[in-house]
Chains A and B, each alone.
Chain A
Amino acid sequence: MKDKVLETLNDFLGRLCAHKDFTAEDFRLTADYNESLALGQKENELLGPYNMPSISKSLTATLYIRWLDKKISNVNLNYAGIMDFEKEIAGWREKSFIDEWAPAVWREETFDNNDALKYKMYDPEIAGVVEGNAQFLFDAIKLIDSKLKPVSKLITVNAFASINRRFIFLGPSASNPVYDFKFSSAGIAFELDNQYSDSFIKRRMFTFADISALIDKAIKYYPAFSVQLDKKELLSRPAVKNIVLTPSVCESFVNKYILSNLYAKPVVEKQARFSLSDFTSQEKHFRDDISIKFEPDFDEYEINNIPLTYEGVQCAPVYFVKNGRLQTPILDLKYSKKAEMPPTAYLSHDTFQSSEYKIKIETGEYECVNNILEDMSEGFIIFDVLGMHTQDHTGGDFSISAPHAMVIHEGKPAGMVKLSISGNFFEILNHHNTKLLNWYGEGDSMALKCLCS
C-alpha cells in the first residue's frame, strides 16, 4: 500500500535532519497513511446528499522532538506540514518548552518489526473494498434493510472500510522506519426507528454470518419495543430493582467509571478516583473476583490488535486490576516517568485509529444471560442510556435516563418502559449480588440492582 508515502516520509526526514535549524537531540515521528470508504442508508433511503459514497485519503503524523537545549516540542502534522516543514520549523522551536517530566524517545529492546507483523490486524479484503469495490457494502446494507423491514418503519444503516499503514521513525539516524505495519477495520451499524441500534466492527471484513447474528437479535428483541407498558403499574415510587445491562450499556459504564479513572494523568495529578499510592500499594478497590485487563485478541481481528502505542511502546497484555487490587494505571511515557512505573499499552484513539478498543473485566463467576433472565421474576433489561457522558466519573455516582428498558416479568419480556436509574457504580459493581454475564456470546453484560424511578 502506497510505497510512495514511505518515500515521501524518508525524503522529509532526510531534509529535516539536514536543516540548519533542526537542532534535535532525539525525535520520534509516528505517521499514519489512511484510505477509507463509507456509505449508508438514512431512514430507508440509500445514499442521498448526506450519505453519499465517500472516499478519503490522508497522511497525518505526530512529531515529538527533544531539542539540544532540553526543550521539547509536540507537533501534529499533516501532508502540507510535512512537505512545507521549512516554513513550520521556526514555529515548532518557538512553541518548545521545558518539561522536567519529558520522556526520552522510547526504543523497545526486544520487540522488532517482525514481532509487530505477527498481529492479526490487516485484512486484504478490506483493501479491495477501499479501492472502490463496494458491492459487498451495498449488499450488506440491503440485507439488513430487507430482513428488518418487517419489524421497523425507519431503517438507517452505515458501513465503512478503512486501511491504515503506520510508520514509526525513531531518532536522527533513522533512515527507515523502525516499525512499518498495516492494519485495517471495517464495520456496519444500524438503527431501527431511531430507537434500537447495533453494530459490528473488527479489523477484518464482516461477513453475512456476522450481520445475521445482529439481525436475529434485533428480530428477537425489537418487536417488544412497540409494546409500551404503563410505568405507574410497576413503579409507583423509586425502588431498588434488578436490571441487566446489555453489552453496549455495560461498556459505556465501564468506559466512563473504570477506564476514565485508570489513566495515569488524572491519577498522578489527583484528578481521578484512585491515587498513585493506591496503585503502588496495590490497594483493594474491587471485589476479590474482579480483574480488569487489556489484551490483544490475536485470533479474532479485534480492534485491540495493535502491536505498539503511538509512542512506540509494545501493547503487551496488562492487568490494571487483579483480584480486586489496583496494579498499574494506564501509563504513557511521560506519566510512566512521573509515576516511576513502566509504561503500559496506552489506550487512545491515536494508538488504535479507532475508539472501539476495550478493557475486559475478568471474573470467576460468568453466567449465561438466559439463566439470569429466567431466574429474574421481575426486572428490566436496559438497551440504551442517555446522558452517560455528563456524569462525574470521579465520584462514581450516576443518575441517567434509560429510554428503552424492557420489562421482564416471570422471566419473559413484557414490554417497554422509560426509566431513570441512579446509584454509585463502584458500590454496585462491588456488591455480591452484581453478576458479570455473557450476552449471547458477544460480550460482557452485567446484572445488578439499582434505584429505578
Chain B
Amino acid sequence: MAHSKKAPADFGAPVKFMEADKDSKILKTIYEGSASIYKNEKIYLISRIQKKKALSVTIINGELSDITSSSRCGAGIHAFDQSGASAFISSNTFPQIDFAAMCESLKKLIASSSAYDIKRNKDIFKLEAQVNIIKNEYPHPYEKYDLAGIIEKAKAANKKTQEIDRNRLSVTTNCTVAIDDFIIMRSDGTFSSFQIPRAAVSSSITAKDNGQTVTLGSRLGSSDLSVLFDDAVHSDFMSQSEFYAREALKLCSAPSIEAGKYRVVIDYALAKGLAHEAFGHAAEADLHRGSILWKDQKFIKGERVASPEVNITDGPIFNDYAWQPVGANGNLRSQTEIVKNGLVEKSLCDIFSSREAGVSNENSERIEGFDCPAIPRMTNIRLEYSRPVKTDKRFYDLTPLEVNKMLLENGLIAADCETLLLLGYKGGQVSPVNGDFVFNCSMIYKMNSELRPELYKPAIFAGKTLSALSSIISAIGPVKSDALGTCGKNGQGVPSSGGSNYFLVIDKNENITIG
C-alpha cells in the first residue's frame, strides 16, 4: 500500500523524474531547484503541489437540484533561511509557475522581516528525509461508478427519508466527492506523493409540526464510494437518517430539559466531539502553551487525566473519510497515543513544535490546500474505554429503549441523580486555555428504571474537559470511528473523523452541565 524509504541523499536528489507528462518538467525544476537553492544560498524549501477535483450532487425532496463540479490546482512554497526566519508564497497557476520568481519573492519577504524581533525556528533542518509514494486499492473506487449511479443512489436515500412523512418533512441530501492529490518536496530530497479521496453523504431533515420547526442532520463518509455502494456502510447512513426523521417529528412537541447536573450517556459521535474538540486540540503542540496540558512551562506527560481504562489515540485510518497517511511536511504520520491507560502520553506535534513541547515529532501537521501553512492537527481521533459492556448488535439497532435496558441491567442508571442519553453530535467548541467545552446534541432521552425513555429537546452539554474525562465510568459496545466532521482550526477546513465505544457513560460532575 505504501512505499516509503529514507532519502539517501544529503540535500541531493534521489528521485528521478520521467518526462511522462507536462507536469514532470516543472516538478523536476522545483525538486532540483529546492536542493540547489539550499546548496548555494542556504534557503530551505518545502513545496506542496495540490490537484483537487470535486463533485457535489444535491437532491431536494426527491428531485435533482444541483450538480457542481470543481477543480483546484496550485503550489505553495514555505522557505526558511539559516537563522530560522521563514516566509510562504502560493499560486494557483500551477503548472505554469515561475519557480525562480517565487523564490526571489520569498527571499525578499524573509529579508523584510529580519529588521524585527521575530520568532525563528531552525528545526526543519533536523527533519529526516523520506521518499513516500503511496498508492491504494479501494473496494469501491470512483472509477467503478458513473455519475448516474451516484445520483440514483442519493435520490433513493433522499426519497426514502422524506417518505416517512411527506407532508411534514423536507429533506435535502447532498453527496460530495473529492479527490485530492498531493506532492510534497523538500530541499533535503524528500519526495512524497499521495492521494486522499473522500466521499460524504448528508441529509438535512426539517420537520414542521405543531407550529414548531426542527432540523436534524445525518451524515456518513468514506475514502471511496463505500458510503453509497457498500451495503453495510450505506445501511448505517439510512438507519441514521430514518431514525432522525422520525425523532425530528417527535421533537416538534418535546419539552425542554431542566438545566442541571446529570449522569450523561453520550453516543460515539458526541464522544468523538469530546475527544476532538475538548482534548485533541489541547494536545496539538502549537496550542500547548497556556493550555490545560501545559504546566510549569512543559507538557504534562505522565499526568493522570482519566481512569486506566481510557485511551485516546489519533492517526490515519485507511478508507476513512479523514484518512491522510503523510504529514503536510512530507513525512509519514504516526499513530499517536495521546492518552494511554488514563495517563497523558504524547502530543500531536510537528517538527516546529516538538522541541519546545519536549516531546517526539509525530509528523501530525495538515493543510487544507496548497495555499495554507501547515499546522498540527488531528485526522482520526478515537476515545476508547477498554472494558465496555459488550453487545453484538449494530449501533443503529440499539434504540433508546435498548440502551435504557443495558444501562439498567449493568447498574449504570444513577441512584442520586437523573441519567440522560444524548444522541447526535451537532458540533461543538472549546477553549483550550481553560478546557471549557460546549457541545450540542440532536436529542435527549431521560433514562429510567421503568424502561420508558422520555424524549426532550436538545440542550447544550457544557463543562470542563478534564472533569469530563475523569468522570468516564463505563461504556457500551465496541469502538465505532466513522463520526465525520470538518475541523476549522485557524480558518482551514480539513476533514476530520473519529469515534469511541458506541456509548460512553460520564458520571455526574459539578463541572458538567446540561442546558
Q: Is the CB of A401 within 8 A of B438?
A: yes
Q: Which residues of chain A in 345-401 are interfacial with respect to chain B, using CB atoms and an 8 Å cutoff?
A: 386-387, 389-395, 397, 399-401
A266 CA / B96 CA spacing, docked (Å):
41
A99 CA / B118 CA spacing, docked (Å):
55
B67 contacts the other chain (Cβ, under 8 Å)? yes
A88 CA / B147 CA spacing, docked (Å):
16
Q: Is the CB of B429 within 8 A of A389?
A: yes
B467 to chain A, nearest CB (A): 13
Q: Which residues of chain A in 138-170 are interfacial with respect to chain B, using CB atoms and an 8 Å cutoff?
A: 138, 142, 154
B94 contacts the other chain (Cβ, under 8 Å)? yes
Which residues of chain A are near B189, meaning CB under 8 Å? Answer: none
Known A79-B73, A420-B462; contact A55-B89, beta-carbon cutoff 8 A: yes
Which residues of chain B are near A48, meaning CB under 8 Å? Answer: 86, 118-121, 352
Closest A residue to B92 by CB, please name it: A58
Known A50-B375, A390-B439, A453-B515; contact A395-B212, beta-carbon cutoff 8 A: yes
Residue-by-residue, is B73-94 near A (CB-CB < 8 Å gives 1, otherwise 0)?
A: 1100010100001111111111
Closest A residue to B216 by CB, please name it: A392
Q: Is the CB of B433 within 8 A of A75?
A: no
* Contact among B74, B90, B286, B462 for A401, CB-based, below 8 A: B462
Q: Is the CB of A80 within 8 A of B259?
A: no
Which residues of chain B are near A176, meaning CB under 8 Å? Answer: none
Known A46-B118, A52-B86, A271-B206; contact A403-B431, beta-carbon cutoff 8 A: yes
Q: Which residues of chain B in 277-323 are interfacial with respect to chain A, using CB atoms and an 8 Å cutoff?
A: 286, 289-290
B495 contacts the other chain (Cβ, under 8 Å)? no
* Contact among A95, A138, A390, A453 for B426, CB-based, below 8 A: A390
A92 CA / B53 CA spacing, docked (Å):
12
A43 CA / B70 CA spacing, docked (Å):
37
Which residues of chain A are near B147, meaning CB under 8 Å? Answer: 94-95
Q: Which residues of chain B in 197-240 are interfacial with respect to chain A, using CB atoms and an 8 Å cutoff?
A: 204, 206, 208, 212-215
B513 contacts the other chain (Cβ, under 8 Å)? yes
A14 contacts the other chain (Cβ, under 8 Å)? no
Q: Which residues of chain B in 152-208 are interfacial with respect to chain A, using CB atoms and an 8 Å cutoff?
A: 170, 172, 204, 206, 208
* Contact among A49, A59, A397 for B352, CB-based, below 8 A: A49
A132 contacts the other chain (Cβ, under 8 Å)? yes
Residue-by-residue, is A403-420 near B (CB-CB < 8 Å gives 1, otherwise 0)?
A: 100000000000000101
Q: Is the CB of A269 within 8 A of B170?
A: yes
A57 contacts the other chain (Cβ, under 8 Å)? yes
Q: Which residues of chain A in 94-114 are interfacial with respect to chain B, using CB atoms and an 8 Å cutoff?
A: 94-97, 99
Known A46-B118, A273-B213, A387-B439; contact A55-B206, beta-carbon cutoff 8 A: no
A81 contacts the other chain (Cβ, under 8 Å)? yes
Which residues of chain A are near B51, meaning CB under 8 Å? Answer: 80
A19 contacts the other chain (Cβ, under 8 Å)? no
Segment touching A, from B106-114, B387-395, B475-483, B500-508: B106-114
Which residues of chain A are near B89, meaning CB under 8 Å? Answer: 54-56
Name the interface size band of chain B.
35 or more
Segment touching A, from B2-10, B27-35, B452-460: B452-460
Q: Is the CB of B92 within 8 A of A270?
A: no
A75 CA / B215 CA spacing, docked (Å):
29
Known A55-B105, A238-B259, A420-B462; contact A400-B438, beta-carbon cutoff 8 A: yes
A53 to chain B, nearest CB (A): 5
Q: Is the CB of A391 within 8 A of B206?
A: no
Q: Is the CB of A56 within 8 A of B208?
A: no
Q: Is the CB of B289 within 8 A of A83?
A: no
Q: Is the CB of A403 within 8 A of B118?
A: no
Which residues of chain A are near B460, meaning CB under 8 Å? Answer: 387, 390, 399-401, 420, 422
A266 CA / B375 CA spacing, docked (Å):
36
Which residues of chain A are near B172, meaning CB under 8 Å? Answer: 269, 271
Q: Which residues of chain B in 44-73 are interfacial with respect to chain A, using CB atoms and an 8 Å cutoff?
A: 51, 55, 60-61, 64-73
A397 CA / B214 CA spacing, docked (Å):
10
A26 to chain B, nearest CB (A): 18
B358 contacts the other chain (Cβ, under 8 Å)? no
Which residues of chain A are near B116, meaning CB under 8 Å? Answer: 46-47, 138, 142
* Contact among A79, A391, A400 for B93, CB-based, below 8 A: A79
Q: Is the CB of B433 within 8 A of A194?
A: yes
Q: Is the CB of B213 within 8 A of A394?
A: yes
Q: Is the CB of B429 within 8 A of A58?
A: no
A81 CA / B86 CA spacing, docked (Å):
31
Q: Is the CB of A53 within 8 A of B92?
A: no
Known A97-B64, A395-B214; contact A387-B440, beta-carbon cutoff 8 A: yes
Which residues of chain B are near A395, meaning CB under 8 Å? Answer: 212-215
B216 to chain A, nearest CB (A): 8
A400 CA / B431 CA spacing, docked (Å):
14
A403 CA / B119 CA spacing, docked (Å):
31
* Contact among B69, B206, B429, B458 for A394, CB-based, below 8 A: B206
Which residues of chain A are near B85, meaning CB under 8 Å? Answer: 47
Q: Is the CB of A54 within 8 A of B90?
A: yes
Closest A residue to B86 by CB, please name it: A52
B46 to chain A, nearest CB (A): 10
Q: Is the CB of A270 within 8 A of B208?
A: yes
Known A55-B90, A391-B440; contact A397-B457, beta-carbon cutoff 8 A: yes
Residue of A270, A393, A397 with highest tally of chain B CB at under 10 A: A270
Q: Is the CB of B95 within 8 A of A401?
A: no
Residue of A59, A269, A272 with highest tally of chain B CB at under 10 A: A269
B436 contacts the other chain (Cβ, under 8 Å)? yes
Which residues of chain A are near B459, meaning CB under 8 Å? Answer: 399, 422
B427 contacts the other chain (Cβ, under 8 Å)? yes
A134 CA / B94 CA spacing, docked (Å):
26
A440 CA / B490 CA spacing, docked (Å):
29
Q: Is the CB of A74 within 8 A of B78?
A: no
B428 contacts the other chain (Cβ, under 8 Å)? yes
Q: Is the CB of B119 within 8 A of A47?
A: yes
Q: Is the CB of A394 within 8 A of B214?
A: yes
A289 contacts the other chain (Cβ, under 8 Å)? no
B371 contacts the other chain (Cβ, under 8 Å)? yes
A433 contacts the other chain (Cβ, under 8 Å)? no
Which residues of chain A are near B499, meaning CB under 8 Å? Answer: none
Which residues of chain B are near A46, meaning CB under 8 Å? Answer: 116-119
A74 CA / B214 CA spacing, docked (Å):
31
A53 CA / B289 CA spacing, docked (Å):
22
Known A53-B87, A59-B93; contact A394-B215, beta-carbon cutoff 8 A: yes
Q: Is the CB of A55 within 8 A of B93?
A: no
A229 to chain B, nearest CB (A): 16
A78 contacts the other chain (Cβ, under 8 Å)? yes
Q: Is the CB of B69 within 8 A of A95?
A: yes
Q: Is the CB of B87 within 8 A of A52?
A: yes
Known A58-B74, A138-B116; contact A75-B429, beta-carbon cutoff 8 A: no
A279 CA / B446 CA spacing, docked (Å):
39
A140 CA / B92 CA spacing, docked (Å):
29
A394 CA / B172 CA spacing, docked (Å):
15
Q: Is the CB of A269 within 8 A of B61?
A: yes
Closest A residue to B488 by CB, please name it: A389
Which residues of chain B are near A422, meaning CB under 8 Å? Answer: 256, 259, 459-460, 515
Which residues of chain B are near A277, meaning CB under 8 Å? Answer: none
Which residues of chain A are near B80, meaning CB under 8 Å? Answer: 49
A207 to chain B, nearest CB (A): 21
Q: Which residues of chain A in 220-274 are interfacial with respect to chain B, using CB atoms and an 8 Å cutoff?
A: 238, 266, 269-273
Q: Is the CB of B71 within 8 A of A47?
A: no
B373 contacts the other chain (Cβ, under 8 Å)? yes
A39 CA / B90 CA spacing, docked (Å):
14
B325 contacts the other chain (Cβ, under 8 Å)? no
A45 contacts the other chain (Cβ, under 8 Å)? yes
Closest B residue to A238 by CB, please name it: B259
5 new A-B contacts, CB < 8 A, other than A43-B289, A270-B208, A401-B462, are A55-B89, A58-B371, A76-B68, A95-B147, A270-B206
16 A–B contacts, CB within 8 A, in A order: A49-B78, A76-B68, A76-B70, A81-B71, A91-B69, A132-B105, A194-B433, A195-B433, A269-B60, A386-B438, A389-B427, A390-B426, A392-B215, A395-B214, A397-B457, A420-B259
4 closest A-B pairs by CB: A48-B119, A390-B440, A45-B119, A76-B70
